[in-house]
Chains A and B, each alone.
Chain A
Amino acid sequence: GQNIDQPTEMTATEGAIVQINCTYQTSGFNGLFWYQQHAGEAPTFLSYNVLDGLEEKGRFSSFLSRSKGYSYLLLKELQMKDSASYLCAVMDNQGGKLIFGQGTELSVKP
C-alpha cells in the first residue's frame, strides 16, 4: 500500500527556521518531491530528492533517507509569504505516478 505521513499544521515565527517532516511507505520509489501550495492556488514545485542526502536551494533545503523512508523540508529565514501548505509526494517505480501526503499547513506569525 501507499502511506505518506506529515504533520497537519505547524506554526513558526518570522525570521526563524522550521523543519517539516515526512515519512513514507510506498510500494515503489523513484524520488521524493516537495510542493508548496498557497490557499486557492495550484501546487508549485519546490524540490526533488532521489538519492540520500541534503539538497539546498536558497532558503529551502530538502533531505532524504531512503532506508528510513524519511524526508524533511527545511525553511530558513521565514517570511510571511511562506505561510502555505507544504506537500510531500513520492513518485512510484514507473516514474509517472506521484502520490501526495495530506500536506502540512504552515502559519508564519510576526
Chain B
Amino acid sequence: DAGVIQSPRHEVTEMGQEVTLRCKPISGHDYLFWYRQTMMRGLELLIYFNNNVPIDDSGMPEDRFSAKMPNASFSTLKIQPSEPRDSAVYFCASKRTGANYGYTFGSGTRLTVV
C-alpha cells in the first residue's frame, strides 16, 4: 500500500497566483480530509468528503479556497488568489468507515506564498 500521496511536497508561489494541491487517498478509504497546520493554529480541518461528496466545509477560511473530489482516487485543494497568510503545511488524510480507524496522513505540502 503506497499510503496517502500528496503533491507537490513543496510549493513556493507569489502572492496572487493560483495554487493547486493534489491528493490520492488510500484505495478503499471512503473518507478524505484536508487539514492545514501552522505554528499558531495547529492542525485545522478545512473540509472533508465521504464517498466523494463534501460533508463539512465549515473550516474553509474564505471563498479563495475550494476543494473537489471528482472520483474516489483523487482530490484537489485550490487557492485563488493566494496570500502570504496562506503559507502553511497542508495535509491530506483518508480513512475507512468505522470510528475505530484512525486517519492515515499524507506527507503534506509545504506552501510558501511570497
Contact = CB atoms under 8 A, between A and B. Distances in A.
Contacts of A30: 99
Contact of A101 (B31, B42, B50): B42
Interface of B: 31, 33, 35, 42-43, 45, 48, 50, 55-56, 91, 95, 97-100, 102-108
B68 to A, nearest CB: 18
Given A30-B99, A48-B100, A50-B100, A98 B106 contact: no
A12 B42 CA distance: 23
Contact of B105 (A44, A50, A103): A44
10 A-B pairs with least C-beta separation: A45-B102, A42-B105, A100-B43, A102-B42, A95-B99, A30-B99, A31-B99, A43-B105, A42-B107, A33-B102
11 contacts: A30-B99, A43-B105, A44-B105, A91-B99, A95-B97, A95-B99, A96-B48, A97-B56, A100-B42, A101-B42, A103-B42
Contacts of A35: 102
Q: A interface, by DSSP: helix, strand, loop or mixed?
A: loop
A87 interface: yes
A91 B99 CA distance: 8
Contacts of A87: 43
B34 to A, nearest CB: 12
A42 B3 CA distance: 12
Which of A35, A50, A87, A96 gathers most chain B CB within 10 Å? Answer: A96
A102 B97 CA distance: 25
A97 B48 contact: yes
A96 B32 CA distance: 9
Given A87-B43, A95-B98, A102-B42, A45 B103 contact: yes
Contact of A98 (B55, B98, B100, B103): B103
Contact of A45 (B31, B104, B108): B104
Nearest to A100: B43
B67 to A, nearest CB: 15
A102 B45 CA distance: 13
Contacts of B33: 98
